[in-house]
Amino acid sequence: MSLIESPTAVSPLHRHISLRAEGKTFPSVIEMVKTLRPEEPLHCVRPGVISSAASAFCTAFNGDVLYAVKCNPEPAVLRAVWDGGVRHFDCASISEVQLVRRLFPGAEIHFMHPVKARSAIREAWMHHNVRDFVLDSESELTKILQELGKPEAAKLGTKPGLFIRLALPETGAAINLSKKFGAEPEAAIALLRAARPLAAKLGLAFHVGSQCLDPLAWRDAMQLAGEVIRASGVQIDVLDIGGGFPVAYPDMNPPPLGDFMSEIDAAYDALQMPGLKLWAEPGRALVGGGASVVVQVQMRRDNMLYINDGVYGALADAGALRFRFPSRLLRASASQGAPDAAFGFFGPSCDSLDVMNGPFLLPDDVAEGDWIEIGQLGAYGTCLRTAFNGFDRAALVEVSDRAMLETPGYEPSES
């Protein structure tokens, strides 16, 4: 199946190009360009790459793997994650919960946002069989208990799983996630004690930050978690070591997956807490290599290319965060072999902030009308699109070739 057909994604891609590609999986991006000659940005999902990465992670990690849905909620992507063996989903909004429940009636869904709407807590608990909730404050604990204590909700007669999100000191991650969420150790200790008698399952969770290249960040965080657990004096059932596992970008070369897992295994042994279960919530690592966007050049001015997608489309992280993504020219006829040069991109909107400095390496003779594949956009690309300035006509196809960059440890096994 090649296109989004069934349930709407949280932010569904349009289908207008898809009609011409119905039922088709293209063997490669270049074949797709020859067939469709897309004049709108086209998202190319590689389900095989995503399934392999998910399967590699599930095999390497000694615990339950929760896919962080926010990273890419496209149904084609979720199905590929499922096909790779993932059965748990980390959701942060009621729309994500509804989407996952619709696609996978048997999935285990966990509500891992520390600040939730009351209605979302109720609906998840009552209608979608969600039992686990994360929190990082006393007021959120009170909110959850009030909602689950209402007569309708209390009828279920079960206690929730409660997870305390621990703030971490700054790590080497590209994107810090402890400034906004997480209880400091003293507060986390108090919350663990308060939650224990109320919880069917008690957990401690953290996130080292997204695109964290240093395996030692997990060791340090797990050590801190161990200190917090011991100081609380209560029994903990689950340690959730979050996401943050990196993928390869042109200027970022992560150590192999195995290096992260050895640190995690060693840190787990050092905790000496037999019976403690481990969970992880990878997002980027499972899907980052699994999608590209194919854009078309609308004008060239010196070494700046005006393209039909930008920071209000799939390329948000190439703007303010200055991520570099791999790029390649897709020409139906053989190139003249022009040497590579460094280019920047302007997106299609009228906003002067819609600029991506890269640099993106492309043959020096790139010109108006050419197609360019921009890779490694499976994570935080597709899902950050907006309709700003009317540029919302992207579509999705599936392709079966390899990722533009391999992340060590996640490569598909040769078959």
Applying CB under 6 A, which residues contact ligand PLP?
68, 70-71, 90, 112, 207, 210, 242-245, 281-285, 379
Q: Contact 262/19 with Cβ under 8 angstroms?
A: no
Judged by beta carbon, residue 90 or residue 140, the one nearer ligand PLP is 90
Coil, strand or helix: which one is 364? Answer: coil
In angstroms, what is the minimal distance from the CB of 275 to ligand PLP?
Answer: 24
Judged by beta carbon, residue 88 or residue 300, the one nearer ligand PLP is 88
Alpha carbon separation from 356 to 10, 106, 303, 315, 353 (Å, rounded): 26, 41, 12, 8, 9
Judged by beta carbon, residue 245 or residue 391, the one nearer ligand PLP is 245
**Residue 27 class from Cβ within 10 Å (0-12 exposed, 13-18 middle, 19+ buried)?**
exposed
Judged by beta carbon, residue 173 or residue 397, the one nearer ligand PLP is 173
Strands (E) located in 173-270: 201-205, 238-240
In angstroms, what is the minimal distance from the CB of 167 to ligand PLP?
Answer: 12
Coil, strand or helix: which one is 400? Answer: coil
Nearest Cα to Cα of residue 167 among 154, 159, 179: 179
Phi/psi for 346 (5° steps) reads: -105, 135
Judged by beta carbon, residue 24 or residue 113, the one nearer ligand PLP is 113
Judged by beta carbon, residue 90 or residue 309, the one nearer ligand PLP is 90
Judged by beta carbon, residue 284 or residue 324, the one nearer ligand PLP is 284
Cα separation, 410 vs 84, in Å, equals 12
In angstroms, what is the minimal distance from the CB of 68 to ligand PLP?
Answer: 3
**Number of residue whose CB is nearest ligand PLP:** 243
CA atoms within 13 A on the CB side of 224: 23
In angstroms, what is the minimal distance from the CB of 90 to ligand PLP?
Answer: 5
In angstroms, what is the minimal distance from the CB of 211 to ligand PLP?
Answer: 6
In angstroms, what is the minimal distance from the CB of 356 to ligand PLP?
Answer: 21
Strands (E) located in 233-369: 238-240, 277-280, 291-301, 304-307, 327-330, 340-346, 355-363
In angstroms, what is the minimal distance from the CB of 247 to ligand PLP?
Answer: 9
